Structure 1
Amino acid sequence: EQLTDGGPSDQAVETKKGSGWIAYHKPKPNASTRLFCFHPWGSSASMYQQWSDALPPEIEVLPIQLPGRQRRLQEKPFTDFANLIEVLADFLSPYLDKPFAFFGHSMGGVIAFELAYFLGEKYNLKPIQLFLSGLVPPSDNTLLEKIASLSEAERLNYLLEISEIPESISQDPSLFNELMNIFKADFQLLQSYRHVEKKPLDFPISSFSGVDDYTVSDRQLSDWSKYTTSNLKIDRIPGKHMFMFLKDSQKLLLELISQELLPQLITQ
Structure 2
Amino acid sequence: MSQWYVTPKQRLNADVKLICFPYAGGGVAVYHSWADILPDNIELSIVQLPGRGSHFAATPIDNMEKLITLLYPEIEHMLTMDYVIFGHSLGSRVGFEVARKAVNSGLQAPRHFFASGSGAPDIGCFEKSIHSLPQLEFFAELRQMNGTPAEVLDNVELMKMVEPTLRADFQIAEQYQYKGKDIIPCDVSILYGVEDSIETNSLLNWSYYFESCSLKPFSGDHFFVESERGAVIEHVCDVLDWIGYQGDQEVKRVS
Q: TM-score, normalised by structure 2?
A: 0.88
1:103–1:132 CA contact under 8 A, matched in 2? yes
Q: Which segment drifts farther, 35-44 or 175-184?
A: 175-184
Q: Residue by residue, what CA displacement relative to the aligned partner does 1:192-249 show, whole Å, maximum 9, x if unpaired?
A: 53423123222010111111111x12222222222222x2111111111111222xx1
C-alpha spacing 1:155/1:171, structure 2 compared with 1 (3 Å):
closer
Structure 2 Cα separation of the partners of residues 156 and 173 of structure 1 = 10
Question: What count of residue pairs does the alignment treat as equivalent?
Answer: 245
Q: What per-residue deviation string (whole Å, max 9, x for no partner) do you get for residues 106-160 of structure 1?
A: 111110011111110013321001111111112222x434225984454543333
1:46 is displaced (CA, Å) by 1.4
CA RMSD, aligned part only? 2.1
State TM-score, norm by structure 1: 0.84
CA contact (8 A) 2:142 2:148 kept: no
- Residue 192 of structure 2 is matched in structure 1 by 209
SS across alignment from 1:159: helix
1:106 partnered with 2:72: no
Q: What residue identity is the alignment partner of 2:30?
A: M
Give me the identity figure in percent: 26
Aligned partner of 2:24 in structure 1 is: 41
- Looking at structure 2, the residues matched to 196 and 24 of structure 1 have their Cα atoms a distance apart, in angstroms, of 33
Report which structure shows greater RCO (CA 8 Å, sep ≥6): 2
Listed as ranges, the gaps of 5+ residues in structure 1 are 1-16
Question: In the alignment, residue 42 of structure 2 is paired with which amino acid?
Answer: I
Residues 33 and 265, structure 1, Cα contact 8 Å, conserved in 2: no
**CA distance in structure 1 between the aligned counterparts of 2:244 and 2:150, rounded to whole angstroms:** 41
Candidates 213, 220, 223, aligned match of 2:205: 223
Give the Cα separation in 2 of the matches to 1:196 and 1:124: 22
The equivalences for 1:106-145 within 5 A come to: 106-141=89-124, 143-145=125-127
Secondary structure of residue in 2 paired with 1:224: helix
- Residue equivalent to 1:96: 79
**Counterpart residue number, 1:146:** 128
* Residues 80, 108 of structure 2: 8 Å contact kept: no
More helix by proportion, 1 or 2?
A: 1
The alpha carbon displacement at 1:31 in A equals: 0.8
The answer for the alignment partner of 1:236 in structure 2 is 217
Q: How many Å apart are 1:87 and its aligned residue?
A: 2.4
Residues 51 and 162 in structure 2, CA contact (< 8 A), matched pair in contact too: no
Give 3-state SS (helix, strand or coil) of 1:84's partner.
helix
